[in-house]
Structure 1
């Protein structure tokens, strides 16, 4: 869909798209173009908004996100946004990869050699989850340990900082504010700066809507305050 297409229905929306998003938001210095692509792609997948995927998946590749990284983002978000949302993205991405000549040799091959695990940190996390939720759903607790934190999070195709950024974006996009505290702290521990986290919210306001971002901002504010102490 072109901006001229939008103008035939809503000239105001076309103007906002051209001036606020293309002319301003994507040029702001708080995030690199690559990071903005990661944020946008994550939001689209989390919300299953397929209409924008072709444009923004291609833009991500042009902005330096590699095929491997896009592949890993989709894999990661299968866990954090659900398998159907990931499959929506795969359906569109497979055609883009075919058009660009991206073959299996440019994608992560199984099995991969996982990154080192911080045993002490994982033991503390697993113990807390077991104590809090073992009586609620032991299956969820087991898969959280076996698949998420000792497997998915250690896959090398996406840097820990970027994997955390993808997760935070998905949480904001889907309104899952209760999970933001843990994952934003993890993101900042993995190298996401406060300024980048702040600008991520600005970017997401346009791609997920102001209500999702304002629902997340009190939690983000508390995270920032706790890290200042």
Structure 2
């Protein structure tokens, strides 16, 4: 029998429920099998981490969604979609997150996430009018930054795969990253969250720097790492920490 007690407990938190009510919700099959895990969940993850003021509940819901999608954890995804919507993430933003992360975590993860979300959208009456336009007016491009990115990628990889160079330019940075349904800060944030969850810290330098250029603060980035330790695991976060440290220090110097 599937249980979604974690997301149910968090849903209570978004409505101002007490820690006792959250704890009561967590009395489940988890507690019957691993009472210590239930205690860590109640007291530490839900009682402390999710309540941390360094990162908003909305942002925590969005980065958790990105991590679960990246890890193909679709059984729990529907409940976290409910949580994200209740925390202020719009249906259009979640839809655009799926589309965006298809390019960073793979088409299979994206289609599986969409299938898991469909019943939630149907139950909430989300229609096509609530979702991003297929061909919206794109945000203005930073021509100087894009020229520098293109020069680096082309210089390094044109003789390896010109197809990757071309599609990266035309599909990702001249199109996907300019779609307005997800703010640049949030688009960068979910990309970093996905890279951490996938265990690909070597790709973080560019994207974490871009996230901070787009408005993510160092405090928020640090809180995101702490939050994702529970969903991606401590080893993946510790692999990401040196990269984050380098990015933070480079911005100070």
* TM-score category of the 2 structures, normalised to the smaller one: over 0.9
The CA distance in 1 between the partners of 2:120 and 2:249, in whole Å, is: 42
The CA distance in 2 between the partners of 1:177 and 1:21, in whole Å, is: 24
- What are the superposed Cα offsets for residues 171-202 of structure 1, whole Å, 9 maximum, x if unpaired? 01101111100000000000000000000000
Structure 1 residues 55-64 or 109-118, which shifts more? 109-118
Q: CA deviation at 1:170?
A: 0.4
Give the equivalent residue in structure 2 for 1:163: 187
The CA distance in 1 between the partners of 2:146 and 2:197, in whole Å, is: 27
Structure 1 residues 207-216 or 2-11, which shifts more? 2-11
Question: How much is the aligned-residue C-alpha RMSD, in angstroms?
Answer: 0.7
Give 1:35's match in structure 2, choosing from 55, 59, 62.
59
Gapped runs of 5+ residues in structure 1? none
Structure 2 residue 96 is the aligned partner of structure 1 residue 72: yes
Does the Cα contact within 8 Å between 2:75 and 2:116 map onto a contact in 1? no
The CA distance in 2 between the partners of 1:118 and 1:225, in whole Å, is: 24
Give the equivalent residue in structure 1 for 2:209: 185
Does the Cα contact within 8 Å between 2:98 and 2:114 map onto a contact in 1? yes
How many pairs does the alignment contain?
Answer: 229
Q: Secondary structure at the match of 2:209?
A: helix
The CA distance in 1 between the partners of 2:215 and 2:132, in whole Å, is: 23
The CA distance in 2 between the partners of 1:129 and 1:109, in whole Å, is: 30
Equivalent runs, 1:42-53 vs 2, <5 Å = 42-53=66-77
The CA distance in 1 between the partners of 2:145 and 2:220, in whole Å, is: 25
The CA distance in 1 between the partners of 2:29 and 2:124, in whole Å, is: 26
Equivalent runs, 1:150-229 vs 2, <5 Å = 150-229=174-253
Give the equivalent residue in structure 2 for 1:122: 146
Q: CA deviation at 1:51?
A: 2.4
Q: Structure 2 length as normaliser, TM-score?
A: 0.89
The CA distance in 1 between the partners of 2:66 and 2:134, in whole Å, is: 23
- What are the superposed Cα offsets for residues 35-77 of structure 1, whole Å, 9 maximum, x if unpaired? 0011100100111111221111100000000000000000000
Q: Secondary structure at the match of 1:22?
A: helix
Give 1:142's match in structure 2, choosing from 156, 161, 166.
166
- What are the superposed Cα offsets for residues 12-53 of structure 1, whole Å, 9 maximum, x if unpaired? 111111111111111011000000011100100111111221
The CA distance in 1 between the partners of 2:161 and 2:199, in whole Å, is: 23
Q: Secondary structure at the match of 1:27?
A: coil
Structure 2 residue 116 is the aligned partner of structure 1 residue 92: yes
The CA distance in 1 between the partners of 2:83 and 2:195, in whole Å, is: 23
Gapped runs of 5+ residues in structure 2? 6-25
Q: Secondary structure at the match of 1:23?
A: helix
